[in-house]
């Protein structure tokens, strides 16, 4: 329920703070006073689009904040927790700031929120019925949504739409595969050959790197052996080999140390070098022994490398990417499937169709059950809205098959197995016809109100706002409308912008909207009326410019009768 509303620098409102109560509240005032500004401000706070024209002239920004009691809305509380937007327990604070450049920011419980989040929360907080709502009632999708909402099967309708889309996706895929079976078979055959060829190659990157290293060594084995032999000969086997000369030098240095001990440091360095050279000789001999010069193995490696390079050129990739090419081929094969997959796809399509039809038939049964009840309730309301003898019906008309020449053609679409059409007979004995064809402007306004009253009986939101939905009616009908709204106020918080005294008199609370020029600037104000002020305002609505005591007495009688 809406508890509090704060408006700053919005259109012609400078500053306004309002506390709201349960029951039925009427907003009245002179034409052009800005009665709908409050609704526009609430709409902005709940995620409707705004523009720079909403910022009061000369101000930097407009700000609207609305506080709601959500203690009886567990679904909304759970949604706030899920979105990490929860605030104080049982409270939801919606806030919107709009600057003079047209940029806006939204907040829920003090945390930044997107417009989508504001709208999702707002849909669970209140419903607004505009004065031109009856125009949308002529649209088939609106009529269907109203019936589904009245029946409490909106979620079931959504499930049917989802199942229909699933079936359609499988159907299109199966048809595509069937129509292109020859091309698909040819592509599958080529891909299978390519997969077998690459799998037979047995390629992997690690093996490829090792192969290249081994081949480089084998290809240069003769030269490497020659290098090793030259090293061995130079170090130890030639007539003037390094080690032989080094041995002679160290022997002479040992003799020299007998006369000069300082040669010892040089001797130690040469002995260390002597040991290193000897180790080098041992290493070269070991290298000679293990170096492979097998020509057969070299030829095998050359053939292996040539095979990999040929495959890489064929598939237009680098050798290192051959395994990725194999993965792509396997993925495409899986996507194409086989003949068995086409059979399985057909079975999946059939199962999806059966699921859709079962859900759609269940939806149709629920619609049929509620269509009569909704028609009866709206017909009853019409009898009190200056349409005695009028009747209202919700017709369910089965859809034709989508292709009568096909054996697998079905009835139905994403909306179910039938279309929903609101039909009305304005006079007794006349068969009902489509609402769009028979209702006049005034009748459509009254029918719209009857529909709204009937469908709001199952409203899931706690606050209902009516913006001059009573336009085009008056007298006794206006009084009945007031009583209907008052009855709604027992179960919901109801706000109604009205110009009819009969409607305003039925309200539990009445606010007067006015505007005045202050320092050359037009500003709008809202005043909560007490009992005496309500008499004056109702009298103004009854009597126009000059209010007489008779008019005041009539206004007081209307208020007394309504209470």
Give domain status of residue 271, yes or no: no
pTM for this prediction? 0.61
274-286: average pLDDT: 87
Give domain status of residue 65, yes or no: yes
**Whole-angstrom Cα distance, residue 408 to residue 361?**
18
pLDDT recorded at residue 132: 60
Query: For residue 328, how many C-alpha atoms fall within 13 Å in the half-sphere facing its CB?
Result: 7
Give domain status of residue 494, yes or no: yes
Separation in Å, CA 480 to CA 476, 555, 562: 6, 16, 11
Give domain status of residue 57, yes or no: yes
* Contact between residue 518 and residue 476 where contact means Cβ atoms under 8 Å apart: no
450-454: average pLDDT: 77
Give domain status of residue 152, yes or no: no
Higher pLDDT, 437 or 360: 360
Instruction: Specify the number of domains making up the chain.
Output: 1
Helix ranges (DSSP H) in 291-419? 295-314, 322-336, 339-384
Residue 339 has pLDDT above 60, yes or no: no
Confidence of residue 505 (pLDDT cuts 50, 70, 90): very high
Q: How far apart are the first and last CA of the chain?
A: 23
Instruction: State what percent of residues in the chain have pLDDT above 90.
Output: 33
* Residues 6 or more apart in contact with residue 98 via CB below 8 angstroms: 44, 50, 52, 54, 55, 61, 62, 63, 104
For the segment 380-432, what is each residue's pLDDT rounded down to a tens digit?
Answer: 888 877 777 888 999 999 987 655 444 455 678 999 999 999 998 877 878 88
Confidence of residue 481 (pLDDT cuts 50, 70, 90): confident
Give domain status of residue 99, yes or no: yes
Give domain status of residue 185, yes or no: no
The boundaries of the domain holding residue 509 are 1-125+461-529
Confidence of residue 507 (pLDDT cuts 50, 70, 90): very high
Instruction: State what percent of residues in the chain have pLDDT above 70.
Output: 89
pLDDT recorded at residue 218: 67
Q: What does residue 277 show for φ and ψ, rounded to 5 degrees?
A: -65, -35
Q: Which residues pair with 433 in a beta bridge?
A: 424
Confidence of residue 225 (pLDDT cuts 50, 70, 90): low
For the segment 11-30, what is each residue's pLDDT rounded down to a tens digit?
Answer: 888 888 999 999 999 999 88
H or E segment and range at residue 283: helix 264-290
The enclosing domain of 108 has a CATH number of: 3.40.50.300
Confidence of residue 293 (pLDDT cuts 50, 70, 90): low
- Strands 126-129 and 111-113 turn out to be unpaired
Q: What is the DSSP string of 30-68?
A: STTS-TTHHHHHHHHHTT----GGGBPTT-SEEEEEEEE
Give domain status of residue 182, yes or no: no
């Amino acid at each position: 329920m809406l508890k509090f509303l704060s408006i700053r620098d919005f259109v012609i409102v400078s500053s306004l703070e309002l506390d709201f109560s349960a029951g039925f509240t009427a907003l009245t005032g002179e034409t052009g006073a800005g009665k709908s500004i409050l609704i526009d401000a609430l709409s902005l706070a709940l995620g409707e689009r705004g523009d720079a024209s909403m910022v009061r002239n000369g101000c930097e920004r407009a700000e609207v904040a609305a506080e709601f009691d959500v203690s009886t809305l567990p679904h909304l509380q759970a949604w706030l927790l899920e979105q990490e937007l929860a605030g104080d327990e049982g409270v939801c604070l919606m806030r919107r700031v709009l600057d003079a450049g047209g940029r806006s920011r939204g907040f829920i419980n003090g945390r930044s929120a997107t417009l989508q989040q504001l709208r999702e929360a707002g849909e669970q907080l209140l419903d607004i019925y505009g004065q031109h709502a009856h125009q949308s009632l002529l649209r088939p999708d609106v009529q269907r949504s109203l019936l589904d909402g009245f029946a409490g099967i909106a979620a079931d309708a959504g499930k049917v739409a989802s199942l229909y889309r699933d079936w359609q996706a499988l159907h299109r895929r199966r048809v595509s595969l069937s129509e292109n079976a020859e091309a698909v078979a040819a592509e599958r055959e080529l891909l299978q050959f390519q997969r077998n060829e690459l799998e037979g190659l047995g390629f992997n990157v690690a093996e490829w790197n090792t192969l290249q290293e081994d081949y480089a060594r084998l290809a240069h084995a003769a030269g490497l052996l020659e290098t090793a032999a030259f090293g061995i000969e130079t170090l130890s086997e030639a007539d003037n080999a390094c080690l032989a000369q080094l041995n002679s030098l160290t022997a002479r240095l040992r003799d020299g140390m007998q006369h000069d001990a300082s040669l010892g440091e040089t001797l130690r360095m040469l002995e260390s070098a002597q040991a290193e050279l000897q180790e080098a000789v041992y290493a070269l001999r070991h290298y000679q022994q293990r170096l492979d010069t097998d020509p057969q193995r070299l030829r095998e490696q050359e053939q292996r490398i040539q095979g990999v390079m040929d495959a890489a050129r064929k598939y237009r990739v680098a050798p290192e990417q051959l395994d990725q090419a194999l993965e792509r081929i396997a993925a495409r094969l899986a996507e194409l499937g086989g003949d068995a997959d086409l059979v399985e796809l057909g079975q999946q399509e059939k199962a999806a169709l059966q699921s859709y039809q079962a859900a759609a038939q269940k939806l149709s049964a629920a619609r049929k059950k509620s269509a009569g009840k909704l028609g009866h309730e709206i017909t009853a309301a019409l009898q009190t809205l200056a349409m005695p003898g009028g009747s209202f019906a919700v017709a369910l008309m089965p859809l034709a098959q989508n292709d009568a020449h096909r054996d697998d053609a079905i009835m139905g679409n994403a909306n179910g197995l039938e279309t929903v059409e609101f039909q009305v007979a304005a006079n007794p004995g006349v068969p009902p016809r489509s609402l769009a064809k028979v209702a006049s402007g005034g009748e459509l306004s009254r029918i719209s109100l009857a529909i709204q009253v009937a469908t709001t009986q199952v409203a899931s939101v706690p606050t209902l706002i009516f913006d001059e939905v009573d336009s085009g009616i008056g007298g006794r009908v206006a009084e009945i409308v007031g009583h209907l709204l008052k009855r709604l106020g027992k179960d919901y918080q109801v706000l109604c912008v009205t110009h009819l005294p009969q409607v305003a008199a039925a309200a539990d609370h009445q606010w007067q909207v006015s505007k005045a020029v202050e320092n050359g600037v037009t500003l709008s104000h809202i005043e909560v009326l007490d009992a005496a002020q309500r008499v004056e305002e109702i009298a103004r609505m009854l009597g126009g410019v000059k209010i007489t005591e008779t008019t005041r007495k009539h206004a007081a009688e209307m208020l007394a009768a309504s209470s």
